[in-house]
Amino acid sequence: MDIFEKCMRFQDARVAREEGYYPYFVPFTGGDGTVVEHNGRKIIMLGSNNYLGLTNHPRLIEAAEKALKKYGTGRTGSRFLNGTIDIHVEFEKELAEFVGKKAALVFSTGYLVNLGVISTLVGKNDVVVIDRYDHASIVDGCLLSRGQILRFRHNDLDDLKRVLDSIPENKGILVVVDGIFSMEGDIAKLPEIVDVVKKRKGARLMVDDAHSIGVLGPNGDGTSAHFGLTSDVDLIMGTFSKSFAAVGGFIAGDEYVVDYLKHHTRSFIFTASLPPSVVASTQEALKIIKGEPERRKHLWNISNYMREEFKKLGFDTSTSETPIIPIVIGDSMKTFAFWKRLFEEGVYTNPVVAPAVPENSARLRTSYIATHTFDQMNFVLEKFEKVGKELGVIS
C-alpha cells in the first residue's frame, strides 16, 4: 500500500476551494493588527490573539532591531549547547518573578512547552489528568508521555474528583488545565480545582496560561494570580505568540523541577533556541504588560461590550467570559457560509468545526485586541446582524 494514498484521497480542501468557501491560509498583505489588508481591501481583524495590540509596537520593533545588530539573526543551535545567550537567562529570571515562581525556562514555541514538559514528567507509572477541552498541545504532550491519560468533563469538579479517586495510590499524578479555554472563552474554576487536587496526596497541578498571560491577573500575570492561588499551582505555562506578540513559550515552577526539565526535555534540548530578536522583543513586551494596565482595561471593556451586544442580537456566545467570544452556529456548512459572508462584508473571524470542537457545535471564534475601537466594534455588530438574519442564525 502506498503511504501517500491517504493524501490522494483527501479532497475536502480542493472541493472547498472550488466552491469558494475555503476559509484557511488567507494571505494578508498588511495592516496594523486591528485592520488587515487582503487583495487591496481593508478588513477588521477579529481572529487574532494579539490581545494587547503589541505586534507593531515601536518599542518591540526597536528592541528586536538592536538585538539583531548585536547578536545576529539566530544562534544556530540548541539552548543546551551553543544556543544560550545572556538575554535568554535574564528573561527567564524576569518571567519567573512575573508569575511568582522560583525559576522559568524559555522554549522556542508554546506547543513545544506542553509537548515536552508533560511527556518528560509523566512516566509509565504515572497518570495525567486533563480537562476534555484542553488545548491540542496538552493532548499531544499526554500522548507522547508513557503514562495513562484520563479526562474529566469540562470544568466539572465532581467529575475531576471521580477521576482522581479512581487512580491507585501508587501512581504519580499530573493534572493539567487551561487557564482560559481557547474555544469557549471561559476560565478554569481554579479555586475548586486546587481544592480537589490538593486533597489527593502527591498530585501536582499545571496551568496553561497561553491565553491568560497579559489578560488575567492584577498585573496581567495569569490565572493563578487572578485567583490569588500562585503558590498552590505547581507549574505555570505561557506563550509569547499572544499577548507578547511574537513566538515562543515558557514553563515556570520550583527551581529543582525546572532544572530537571532543562536537562531532560527533548523538545527543549533538541531544537534551536529562540532567536535573540524575539527574546528582546518579548522582554520589551513584558515591560509594557506590567507598565500599561490601561491596555488590559480597554481590552476588557471592548470584550464585555461585544459579548453583551451579541447576546442582545440573539447570538449564542456559549460560556464566554473573556476576550475570546465564540458565536456558536452548530452546523459546519452554515458556519463556513457565515464566515464567507462576513469576510465579504469586511470582517475576519475564525471558523471552527469538529474535531476542534464537539460535533454540532461549529462556531465562529472571535477575539479582541486592546487597540480595537468602539466604532470598529459597532461596524462589526452591524455586519453580524446583517449576515445572521440573512442566514437565519438570528431572527
- Find where cell 501536582 sits: 204
What's the CATH number of domain 58-291, 3.40.640.10, 3.40.50.300, 3.20.20.450, 3.40.1160.10? 3.40.640.10
Query: What CATH topology corresponds to 15-45+293-390?
Result: Aspartate Aminotransferase, domain 1 (3.90.1150)
**Which part of the chain is CATH 3.90.1150.10?**
15-45+293-390
The Cα–Cα gap between 155 and 157 comes to: 6
Residue-level length of the chain:
395
pLDDT, average across residues 282-308: 98
Q: Which pLDDT belongs to residue 1?
A: 87
The Cα–Cα gap between 124 and 145 comes to: 8
**Residue positions annotated with a catalytic role:** 182, 211, 242
Residue 225 has pLDDT above 90, yes or no: yes
pLDDT, average across residues 8-19: 93
Q: Which pLDDT belongs to residue 324?
A: 98
Give residue-wise pLDDT tens across range 35-86.
Answer: 999 999 999 999 999 999 999 999 999 999 999 999 999 999 999 999 999 9
Q: Which pLDDT belongs to residue 32?
A: 72
**Which part of the chain is CATH 3.40.640.10?**
58-291
Residue 267 has pLDDT above 90, yes or no: yes
Contact status, residue 296 vs residue 212, Cβ threshold 8 Å: no
Q: Which pLDDT belongs to residue 286?
A: 98
pTM here? 0.96
pLDDT, average across residues 207-219: 98
Q: Which pLDDT belongs to residue 392?
A: 97
Give residue-wise pLDDT tens across range 78-125.
Answer: 999 999 999 999 999 999 999 999 999 999 999 999 999 999 999 999
